[in-house]
Amino acid sequence: MKHMEKRTGARHAIAVVGGGIAGTACALQLAAAGHRVTLLVGAPLSVAPVEDEIRYYALSPASVALLSALGLDVESLGACRYTDMEVWGSQPRDGLHFSLADAPQSLPALGHIVGHGRLLEALRGQADAALECLPTFAQAVHFHDDGVQVDCADGDLVTADLVISAEGASAVLREAAGIDMTGWDYDQQGIVANVCCAGGMQRTAWQRFLATGPLALLPLDAQRASIVWSANGMEAERLLALDDAAFGVELTQAMQGVVGDITVESRRAAFPLRAGQAARYYGDRLALIGDSAHLVHPLAGQGLNLGLGDAAGLLAALEQHSRDLPRALKTYSRRRRTAVEDMIAVTDGLYRLFGPAGPSFAELRDAGMALVNRSAVARQWLVARALGLEGRLPSA
């Protein structure tokens, strides 16, 4: 039995369950703050070669600052910065344009596109050096007045003052604590792939709202991009069944030539799209973070950013109420649920506003976009939220 000695005072013995990006970053932050942390990573790390990577995330400046505070420079992990965003429905000229000038403070980029494998590998490397990492899954959890015990798949038992579920959407610990997850299915798949754009990416993140769902092109370098093409069941199946050449032609047409001819460079994969959140992000000696606590539509690229924000929010609440764990957990849950609720409302609102556009609705939408585009205040409001800059950036 791996027993985590209970310490008095402001520092806790903490078991983090789930070695995804949110869980590993959270474990590192807590360890850096002096807590005694054990990370149950789940499956051993298996990182695809860079050329086979198709999972990319748009990281906000707030997330990049958080990772930098952990000693990770995302650009040295191959992340590509973007300085502009173009969002439109019918015609590119009638859409929204965001640039660095719309950011509420001086920034080098509106965001960075980083590959899942390289980021996770770097975080896990740091975790291996800084804390106890166990290559096993949590199978069951037992909450007691004076601590919590996690039963591991390999037969080990881990005891702690607090357990954090960073298990992703299917969370054993959340279910064991009886915390409901409410939400909805978009009946859509998000198709991801890597492509090459003959016209260049111009350090811009492009997103078009098609009648069938949003389509995003995120820059990987001067010419390459990661796509997220959201489409409902039958349309997604049709797109997945196309050969690379036909898919490239449809993609070029869908993007209306803004980045020139598009050719496909990778396999395609599809992810079901859902939204929702847990009724509360805490239980007795339990905190939920990341996809274990909430799911959002990827159209605003915010799921992982929210998970990293949870990690920072949990640490802040534990610092604020260092001698009152129940109060720290309630404070964390209240603050983060409100922030996430706002983000779900904004992304779901955008999805519904821009998604099912009939011809007359599309005109209204385009007029609305043109109005926002003319208003510097409206653009700055939207950008501040997308960048995660309503609060302060985590300090390095």
Nearest to 266 by CA among 81, 86, 48: 48
Q: Does 131 bind ligand FAD (CB under 6 A)?
A: no
In angstroms, what is the minimal distance from the CB of 237 to ligand FAD? 16
Q: Does 179 bind ligand FAD (CB under 6 A)?
A: no
In angstroms, what is the minimal distance from the CB of 42 to ligand FAD? 3
Q: Does 283 bind ligand FAD (CB under 6 A)?
A: no
Phi, psi for 249 (deg, rounded to 5) = -65, -45
Nearest to ligand FAD of 74, 192 (CB atom): 192
Nearest to ligand FAD of 90, 287 (CB atom): 287
Nearest to 194 by CA among 136, 91, 113: 113
Q: Taking a C-beta distance cutoff of 8 angstroms, is the pair 189, 279 a contact? A: no
Q: Which stretch binds ligand FAD (CB under 6 A): 17-25, 99-107, 252-260, 276-284?
A: 17-25
Q: Which residue carries 């952990």 as its tokens? A: 70
Binding mask 208-247 for ligand FAD (x = CB under 6 A): --------------------x-------------------
Q: Does 38 bind ligand FAD (CB under 6 A)?
A: no
Nearest to ligand FAD of 107, 150 (CB atom): 150
Q: Which one of residues 278, 304, 315, 339 is an interface residue with ligand FAD (CB under 6 A)?
A: 304
Tell me how far the alpha carbon of residue 85 is from its chain's centroid: 18
Q: Taking a C-beta distance cutoff of 8 angstroms, is the pair 86, 204 a contact? A: yes
Amino acid at 169: A
Contacts of 95 (CB under 8 A, 6+ apart): 86, 87, 88, 89, 369, 373
Q: Taking a C-beta distance cutoff of 8 angstroms, is the pair 57, 113 a contact? A: yes
Nearest to ligand FAD of 181, 366 (CB atom): 181
Q: Which stretch binds ligand FAD (CB under 6 A): 73-81, 87-95, 165-173, 388-396?
A: 165-173
Longest dimension (CA), the chain: 65
Give the number of other CB atoms < 10 A from CB of residue 234.
9
Q: Which one of residues 213, 219, 290, 313 is an interface residue with ligand FAD (CB under 6 A)?
A: 290
Q: Taking a C-beta distance cutoff of 8 angstroms, is the pair 138, 150 a contact? A: yes
Tokens (6 digits) for 221: 């370098």
In angstroms, what is the minimal distance from the CB of 220 to ligand FAD? 12
Contacts with ligand FAD, residue ranges (CB under 6 A) = 17-23, 40, 42-43, 57-58, 137-138, 166-168, 172, 190, 192, 228, 271, 290-291, 298, 301-305, 307
